Chain A
Amino acid sequence: MPKLSPTMEEGQISRWVKNEGDAFEANETLAEVDTDKATMEMTALSGGTLLKILKGAGDTAALGEAIAIIGKAGEDISALLSEASSNGKKETAAATKPAGEKASEPKAQPVSTDGAAVATAPEPKPTPTPVQPSEGGRMIVSPIAARMAADNGVDLRSISGSGPNGRVIKRDIEEALAGGAKPAVAKAFTPSTIVGASPFRDESTSKMRQVIAGRLAESIGPIPTFYLTVEIEMDNLFATRKQINANLDDDAKISVNDIIVKAAAMSLLKHPWVNASYQDKTVRFYEQADIGVAVAIDEGLITPVVRGANLKGLAEISGEIKDLAAKAKAKKLQPEEYTGATFSISNLGMMGIKEFTAIINPPEAAIIAIGGANPTPVVRDGQITVRSIMNVTMSCDHRAIDGATGARFLQTFKQMLESPAMMLL
């Protein structure tokens, strides 16, 4: 990776202009590279043939790191390849996170091949215990600890280092291995729902998004949060709810909150950046909406998760929330039932709160705070009239969600609650 701007330290391959096997002349463009400043053309210093691409589009490479092998057509490059791959191995040792997570990806597949839903224990995501902060967010790991973590597939970010300046040392890895940092996955557990944790795909973050993330995080702590508030007219929803509940037994009645969960889940699927998680070099997009619902309990607060709320009907969501809330109050919730949401909802409306801001539950990108729906004088068609107005405030992780992105999500959400029939679409 050549230095294409005075301040660049790494570059991301935007695209390869030449393909493997293509011959080129000096000064011809080989690839386009996203630097911290702009997309730059990487030109050949001399003529030759592009023999092997080592870093494809979307991959990031540090200055001086091998991104391709050039030479004469037909030249033996096996030695260079093995050198490059052994360097690559060291790279993975330094950053085990992506490797570790990729490995867990297939396990998160909830649906069997014949199309029938299967019961799969949701994959508990590695809890992102904040890494001991060091300057510039760099992790400090002793060489032997880094190697042991790589050899054993331990996510270094899940470990807090006990050495000076938070250095992760051999003892920390040994303790993590002894404590079985990962084996929790294997625990036998029958979920209350037929849907497992959301499958996801990780997409490389663009240079621009990385710069936005870096600048904003520098300004406001690790999660640069901003807030968007919207007023939602609830009268139609109340009417719809009344119609539904008229035909239901008392213990099966649908609550407003159940409908809010459903509406949020449906909206999330239309706005993938909100149903996401910022992961430094990648943004993780979830394919279903696993909604964490904040429940107050004696000791504090817990957010049981309604998995795949976008796939479920109101009755199912309602039953599930009742069940989870009861378990939460009885302190019977399993870790799999309260971790790994993709988005959260906190509702203090029933406590008389008009509006408030909630704190994001990382690594989720957003949470919405639901206030009470109160009769409020509003102007409609030039007339003052009374409507039930509910204030909703969304807290957004600006590293993933920009103001307009969040606003568009809230528009959809508002639309669904104001015209509940939209949820049928």
Chain B
Amino acid sequence: MATLTIRDALNQALREEIIRDENVFVMGEEVAEYDGAYKVTRGLWKEFGDKRVVDTPITELGFAAVGVGAAMAGLRPVIEFMTWNFSILAADQIINHAAKMLYMSGGQFKMPIVFRGPNGSAYQVSSQHSQALEAFYANFPGLKVVMPSTSADAKGLLKSAIRDDNPVMFLEQERMYGLKGEVPEDEDFTIPLGVADIKREGTDCTIVARSMTVPLALQAADKIKEELDVSVEVIDPRTIKPLDIDTIVNSVKKTNRLVIAEESHYFASVGAEISHTVMEHAFDYLDAPVKRISTAEAPNPYAKNLEALALPDVDKIIAAVKEVCYL
């Protein structure tokens, strides 16, 4: 095991896959000579050159389209968005082309493409640069959506995403790039898409968290255990689509209570989807209505104090757990 930041774990995954498969290449704004806006692609251009690591102009729709065409031609592009906020410019290529290609070509064209970059809030980058877009993309059939929360998950899932023959939205989190964790050194280490991970076992309440809310949920679980002796289970679905609902339902059947913590807005969120599906499969096991912690229903504020109030935090998660446990 090596201890790596999520940034370096992603870098390792890209490097190993570029070496492993000559069809893999990385493309995006500043990914080559500048080593990436968040340094995820550090050293790759120097090592592999212009053909495998390609800088683009500020033209999201254009380079997304080049990626889609390359994937149709049999390459395996990894397209970096400087943040997922800019992917909205490329949404036509992602939703209308990448997501539909296999279906509308009657299976003639596969779409082995990965779109990746940071998603959600950063530090005071205001409304247009703080959006969590997983629910938006998860709504469309044909797209897979992945959101890692640890270094090992980041590496193992990115390698699986690159090897997958379908378009995969790979949503990282800027605040988490520096988080360290142990990563297996085996070059063939992958984590299959669609498998949730129980980050912490517990008996009294389940928290389903993803991306940035996973470390928050784990801190909340520790505090609740210490202060109230309530045992919380934390589940990270890791892949939003396809969703490993069985792991969540089995946990709720054990704990009877569910809190969902997410960074996206509340309305029509992935948390709403999980809540509904749990109600379908485990209605008779619930002891309390499912509780969701999401980002406030407002454009994300720039002001530091307001931004802190808008986002999920440890105290909000603890309050939700207490509510569903009737404490």
* Chain A residues near B (Cβ < 8 Å): 142-147, 162-164, 169-171
In the bound complex, CA of A169 to CA of B288 (Å): 8
From A142, A162, A171, name the one whose CB has the most chain B CB atoms within 10 angstroms: A142
In the bound complex, CA of A395 to CA of B218 (Å): 61
Looking at chain A's contact residues, the main secondary structure is helix
Enumerate 5 A-B pairs (CB-CB under 8 Å) in ascending A order.
A144-B285, A144-B287, A147-B284, A170-B256, A171-B326
User: Chain A contacts of B326 at CB under 8 A?
Assistant: 162-164, 169, 171
Chain B residue with the shortest CB-CB distance to A168: B287
In the bound complex, CA of A146 to CA of B256 (Å): 13
User: Chain A contacts of B256 at CB under 8 A?
Assistant: 144, 170
In the bound complex, CA of A145 to CA of B257 (Å): 12
Which B residues between 280 and 327 are near A, CB-CB below 8 angstroms?
283-288, 326
Contact with A along B251-265 (1 / 0, CB 8 A): 000001000000000
* Chain B residues near A (Cβ < 8 Å): 256, 283-288, 326
Chain A residue with the shortest CB-CB distance to B285: A144
Min CB gap B290→A, angstroms:
12
Q: Is the CB of B287 within 8 A of A169?
A: yes
Q: Is the CB of A145 within 8 A of B287?
A: yes
In the bound complex, CA of A147 to CA of B284 (Å): 7
Q: Is the CB of B287 within 8 A of A170?
A: yes
Min CB gap B269→A, angstroms:
23
User: Chain A contacts of B283 at CB under 8 A?
Assistant: 143
Chain A residue with the shortest CB-CB distance to B325: A171
User: Chain A contacts of B285 at CB under 8 A?
Assistant: 143-144, 147
User: Chain A contacts of B284 at CB under 8 A?
Assistant: 143-144, 146-147
User: Chain B contacts of A171 at CB under 8 A?
Assistant: 326
From B283, B287, B288, B326, name the one whose CB has the most chain A CB atoms within 10 angstroms: B287
In the bound complex, CA of A162 to CA of B284 (Å): 19
Min CB gap A61→B, angstroms:
22
Min CB gap A91→B, angstroms:
14
User: Chain B contacts of A143 at CB under 8 A?
Assistant: 283-287
User: Chain A contacts of B288 at CB under 8 A?
Assistant: 142, 163, 169
In the bound complex, CA of A169 to CA of B256 (Å): 10
Min CB gap B255→A, angstroms:
10
User: Chain B contacts of A142 at CB under 8 A?
Assistant: 286-288
Closest 5 CB pairs between A and B? A170-B287, A142-B287, A144-B287, A143-B284, A144-B256
Within the complex, which residue of A144, A162, A164 is in contact with B286, where a contact is CB–CB below 8 Å?
A144
In the bound complex, CA of A151 to CA of B96 (Å): 52
User: Chain B contacts of A145 at CB under 8 A?
Assistant: 287
Min CB gap B281→A, angstroms:
12
User: Chain A contacts of B286 at CB under 8 A?
Assistant: 142-144
Min CB gap A173→B, angstroms:
10
Min CB gap A191→B, angstroms:
41
In the bound complex, CA of A144 to CA of B289 (Å): 11
In the bound complex, CA of A212 to CA of B256 (Å): 40
In the bound complex, CA of A142 to CA of B258 (Å): 13
User: Chain B contacts of A147 at CB under 8 A?
Assistant: 284-285
- List 16 extra interface pairs beyond A144-B286, A162-B326, CB under 8 A: A142-B287, A142-B288, A143-B283, A143-B285, A143-B286, A143-B287, A144-B284, A144-B287, A145-B287, A147-B284, A147-B285, A163-B288, A169-B287, A169-B326, A170-B287, A171-B326
Min CB gap B202→A, angstroms:
16
In the bound complex, CA of A171 to CA of B256 (Å): 11
In the bound complex, CA of A169 to CA of B287 (Å): 6
Chain A residue with the shortest CB-CB distance to B286: A143
User: Chain B contacts of A163 at CB under 8 A?
Assistant: 288, 326
Min CB gap B180→A, angstroms:
39
In the bound complex, CA of A170 to CA of B284 (Å): 12
Min CB gap B229→A, angstroms:
14
In the bound complex, CA of A163 to CA of B257 (Å): 14
In the bound complex, CA of A146 to CA of B286 (Å): 10
In the bound complex, CA of A99 to CA of B284 (Å): 20
In the bound complex, CA of A144 to CA of B288 (Å): 9
In the bound complex, CA of A143 to CA of B289 (Å): 10
User: Chain B contacts of A164 at CB under 8 A?
Assistant: 326
In the bound complex, CA of A171 to CA of B230 (Å): 13
User: Chain A contacts of B287 at CB under 8 A?
Assistant: 142-145, 169-170
Min CB gap A335→B, angstroms:
30
User: Chain B contacts of A169 at CB under 8 A?
Assistant: 287-288, 326
In the bound complex, CA of A169 to CA of B285 (Å): 11
Chain A residue with the shortest CB-CB distance to B256: A144
Min CB gap B53→A, angstroms:
54
In the bound complex, CA of A300 to CA of B326 (Å): 36
Min CB gap B61→A, angstroms:
48
User: Chain B contacts of A144 at CB under 8 A?
Assistant: 256, 284-287
Min CB gap A367→B, angstroms:
38
User: Chain B contacts of A170 at CB under 8 A?
Assistant: 256, 287
In the bound complex, CA of A143 to CA of B290 (Å): 12
In the bound complex, CA of A171 to CA of B284 (Å): 15
Chain B residue with the shortest CB-CB distance to A163: B326
Min CB gap B217→A, angstroms:
22
In the bound complex, CA of A385 to CA of B164 (Å): 109
In the bound complex, CA of A373 to CA of B284 (Å): 61
Min CB gap B80→A, angstroms:
45
In the bound complex, CA of A145 to CA of B256 (Å): 10
In the bound complex, CA of A142 to CA of B257 (Å): 11
Min CB gap B236→A, angstroms:
24
In the bound complex, CA of A73 to CA of B287 (Å): 45
In the bound complex, CA of A170 to CA of B204 (Å): 11
